[in-house]
Structure formats: structure tokens, C-alpha cells
Amino acid sequence: MMETRRGFLAKTGLALAADALGSSALFAKEGEKPSGAAEVPSYLHGYEEPYAANPRLAALEWFREAKSGLFLHYGLYSLLGRHEWVQFREKIPVAEYAKLKDQVTAEKFDAPFIASLARDAGMRYVNITTRHHDGFCLFHTKQTDFNAVNSPAKRDLVAELAEACRAKELGMFFYYSHGRDWKHPHAPNNDEWGGSARPKYDPPDPAYAYGAEHDLQKYLDFVTAQITELLTHYGPVAGIWLDGIATPKSGDPAKFHCQELYDRIHSLQPQVLVSYKQGLLGTEDFFAPEHKGVPNPEGKPMEICTSMQKGGWGYVEGAKHMDADEVMQTLESAGKQGANLLLNTGPLPDGSIYPPDVETLREVGKRLKEKGSNGDATRTG
């Protein structure tokens, strides 16, 4: 069946390529080149023929067959162990929260170990929070000094993981908080974009721009610059996974110019798949609801994300975690919906993976091998 579909894509891909890519190449600036575009990305090994005809259609075929990936929520919130929304929930002042950067060591963040663990669990890709809502970046960026390279860790964790995934032929997805940023002065505010855009500080936090001084375009330019960095400095990327959809949906989504961003992403690396959580415009490459999933009327490739840790995505001290039986049930449920499962673990403050999650993932991988073909028997879509 796989070879039949690949043959079909190879024959029809050239005709579809222009429609799929459109005029997006016009968005690339002079001197910017798609990372790794000259050769087939390692995670698409076995898809060379359809890739030559149309990189994105080949990537979509790969994604439909991938079945599962590993999600990593790691950031300053991990140091506190009280949920990834701790700044918002506890209304920690921007300047006070930013001091956590000086405690980041990531001394046990082991990218090769993480990539091997994902492989052992039967997964085909990894997704990491390059920048969550708090604005702290795990990668080297010229747009802000609020990043891991400018911390005691002095490391580009995204670069390390991208290299490790490339070596293991795993797709590398980049989570990026688009609709929320609790650090940038011109990020979406509560006045125009609903009560979940920013923490509700009283009195107003002096770090933010207000009223006529607030300029959303400055934030959108920041976002475009950072996503351009992610797509030009880290080799072939499998996907950009945008979050914060409640913010643009609370007002006029057109003000965020998301289609221009999608076009730019595809111009820089045409195989990259774009999602915006549950789907903002309808032009995303795949549908990405949380937890149990929802109807998918457009029939797009679907990925359901959920966390091994109950009640949070970033590390929460004392939280209950899934065991292997629960993960297998969740994987089977996703498969029956024709969806991939993006399974999250929140690394500990030092960057290491929670030991019981390691044991669970290895046990899941063992069971899948025993079932054969990475659990094909559970996949109905």
C-alpha cells in the first residue's frame, strides 16, 4: 500500500507542486536559503522519490504514517515545578520572573539520550518548546537576550536536539508560542485580545507598552524574525507548531497576518508542515487538537497531543504520570481516529527526563515491537 501511494505521489507531485507552493518563494529575503534543501532530510529516508516531485506532499505522506512523536515542554517554569502557566497564574512580575534565567544550567539536558529514547518508544519525531508563553527561548536568537545561550547554561538546546534527531532520522518539530508572549512589550494585550493574552497585573506591569504606545506589528516582526532563525540555522525542519490560538480567535485574526507567515515558512523550507493548534485559518498542513481529539471534517492529517503528566505540560512537582498501560490505550485511541499521538513529558529543572517517564516510554516501545510494525494493528485511518 505504501509503495502504491508513493508511486502516485511521484507521478502527480510535479503537477501539484506549483499549486502547493504558490508564490511563497517571493517571501524569502536575498541571502536566505532553505536549510538542507539540497538533499532529502534524514527523517524522510525512504521518501526520496515523492520528495523530488513535491517536498511537502512527501512530508505529509510521512506524517500520516509516523503515528507518534515526543513532545518536550522545558523552560523557566520547569525550575519552579508549578505548571508552565505559573507566571500567569501567580501574577509574578515580569522582571522578577526574568531573574529565573540566571538559574538555568540545563546540566542534564542530554539531546542524544532524548532522541534515542524517542526511537526506543517507537516514535518518529520530536517537538520542543523553542519559546513558550513566558518568552524564554531555548535557542540562540538575535532578537532577545532572554535565551538559554545567555544564561549560565550557555547552550543552544534546540541546536543540540536538532543534531541528535538528525542522527537518529527523527523529524524535528519546533513548538513556538505565537499568540502569547508575557515578556515582549508589544505582544498581544488583554485590552484587545481577551483575558488570557497576558497576566492580569494590578497595577499594570511597567515592562509592557500600553495604549497608543502599543504596536502589535513590532511583536509580529519579532515573531517572523525568530521563526526565520529557526528555519535557517538548524538544518531541515519537519514542522512549525504554533500555539496561543485563543488570542487571535478572541478578536480579528487577520491582524496577525498568519497566512503571510505560513507562506514565508514554506518559502524557506518547502517540506515544513505548519499547524496552529486546533486550526486558525484552515490553511494549516495538519490538524492538532489536544487530548482526546475532535471531529476532523476536512480530513487533514491529524495529531492529538496529550501529556504523560496529569494536569500540566511543563514539570509539576508531585503530579501523577501515565503508566505504560495508559499510554498504550491513548496511542490506540489516537490510531482509531487516524491520528498521530504527540506525547509530552516535562523535563526536570536540570533538563533530565523524569525517570518514571523514561521507564514507561521504553516499556511502550517494547510492547509495540512485540505487536509488530509500531502498532499498525491499532491504526484505522
Q: What is the pLDDT of residue 198?
A: 97
Residue-wise pLDDT tens digits, 148-168: 999 999 999 999 999 999 999
Question: Grid coordinates 514539570 are at which residue?
Answer: 315
Q: Are 369 and 121 in contact (CB under 8 A)?
A: no
Q: Give the CATH architecture of domain 62-378.
A: Alpha-Beta Barrel (3.20)
Residue 19 banded pLDDT, cuts 50, 70, 90: very low
Which DSSP helix (H) or strand (E) runs through 57?
helix 55-66
Q: What is the pLDDT of residue 6?
A: 37
Q: Which residue has the higher pLDDT, 245 or 31?
A: 245
Q: What is the pLDDT of residue 293?
A: 65
- Percent of the chain exceeding pLDDT 90 equals 83
pTM of the shown model? 0.89
Q: Are 182 and 188 in contact (CB under 8 A)?
A: no
Q: What is the DSSP string of 176-237?
A: EE-S--SSSTTS--HHHH-TTSS---SSPPTTS--GGG--HHHHHHHHHHHHHHHHHSSS--
Whether 30 shows a pLDDT value over 50: the answer reads: no
Pairing, β 68-72 against β 302-307: unpaired
Least trusted range by pLDDT, from 89-103, 334-348, 363-377: 363-377
Q: Helix or strand or coil: residue 174?
A: strand
Residue-wise pLDDT tens digits, 213-224: 999 999 999 999
Is-cis flag, bond preceding 203, omega within 30?
Answer: yes
Residue 195 banded pLDDT, cuts 50, 70, 90: confident
What mean pLDDT value characterizes the chain?
Answer: 89
Rounded CA-CA distance 66/43 in Å is: 10
Residue-wise pLDDT tens digits, 291-328: 876 777 678 999 999 999 999 999 999 999 999 999 99
Q: Which residues contact 1 (CB under 8 A, 6 or more apart)?
A: none
Q: What is the mean pLDDT of residues 77-106?
A: 98
Residue-wise pLDDT tens digits, 260-280: 999 999 999 999 999 998 899
Q: What is the pLDDT of residue 277?
A: 87
Tell which residue, 277, 287, 282, has the closest CA to residue 242: 277
Cell of 95: 522582571
Task: Classify burial at 140, counting beta carbons within 10 Å of its beta carbon; exposed 0-12, middle 13-18, buried 19 or more.
Answer: middle
Residue-wise pLDDT tens digits, 177-194: 999 999 999 999 999 998
Q: Where are the domains of the chain?
A: 62-378
Rounded CA-CA distance 168/189 in Å is: 41
Cell of 212: 497608543
